[in-house]
Chains A and B, each alone.
Chain A
Amino acid sequence: MGGLLETFLQHCLESVNAIQQEREAAKVCRGCDRYPRAMALIDLANPTRFLSLTARLLPYLVAGTSIVLTVGLYLSATAPDDYQQGATVKIMFIHVPNAWLSMFVWAVMSASALGTLVWRHPLADVAAKAAAPIGASFTFLALITGSLWGRPMWGAYWEWDARLTSVLILFLMYLGLMALWRAVEDPSRAARAAAVLTLVGALNLPIIKFSVDWWNTLHQPASVFRMGGSTLDRAFLIPLLVMAVGFTLLFVTLHVAAMRNEILRRRVRALQMMQARPTSSDVSAASPASQPA
Chain B
Amino acid sequence: MSLGPYAPFIVTSYLAAALVGALLIAWIVIDYRNQKRRLRELEESGAVRRSGRSATER
A positions within 8 Å CB-CB of B = 48, 51-52, 54-55, 77-78, 81, 86-88, 90-91, 94-95, 98, 133-134, 137, 140-141, 144-145, 148-149, 151-152, 250, 254, 257-258, 260-261, 264-265, 267-268, 270-272, 274-275
Contact = CB atoms under 8 A, between A and B. Distances in A.
Interface residues of B, number: 39
A254 B28 contact: yes
A135 B11 CA distance: 23
Interface of B: 1-7, 9-10, 12-14, 16-17, 20-21, 23-25, 27-28, 31-32, 35-36, 38-39, 42-43, 45-50, 53, 55, 57-58
Nearest to A98: B17
Most chain-A CB neighbours within 10 Å: which of B5, B17, B24, B42? B17
Given A87-B2, A87-B3, A250-B21, A275 B13 contact: no
A145 B13 contact: yes
Nearest to B1: A77
Given A52-B58, A87-B7, A152-B6, A134 B24 contact: yes
A257 B28 contact: yes
Given A133-B24, A148-B12, A261-B28, A271 B7 contact: no
A151 B8 CA distance: 11
Contacts of A134: 24
A54 B17 CA distance: 26
Contact of A270 (B31, B36, B45, B49): B49
A147 to B, nearest CB: 9
Given A86-B4, A250-B21, A275-B42, A141 B35 contact: no
A81 B3 CA distance: 9
Contacts, number: 105
A64 B52 CA distance: 36
A78 to B, nearest CB: 8
11 contacts: A55-B58, A90-B13, A91-B9, A94-B14, A94-B17, A141-B17, A258-B28, A261-B35, A264-B39, A267-B55, A272-B42
B25 to A, nearest CB: 7
A11 B20 CA distance: 32
A48 B58 CA distance: 6
A69 B27 CA distance: 20
A134 B45 CA distance: 34
A51 B58 CA distance: 5
Given A94-B14, A268-B55, 20 more contacts: A51-B58, A77-B1, A78-B1, A86-B4, A87-B2, A87-B6, A87-B10, A90-B13, A95-B13, A98-B17, A141-B17, A145-B17, A152-B6, A254-B24, A258-B28, A264-B36, A267-B35, A268-B38, A272-B47, A274-B50
Contacts of B57: 48
A151 B16 contact: no
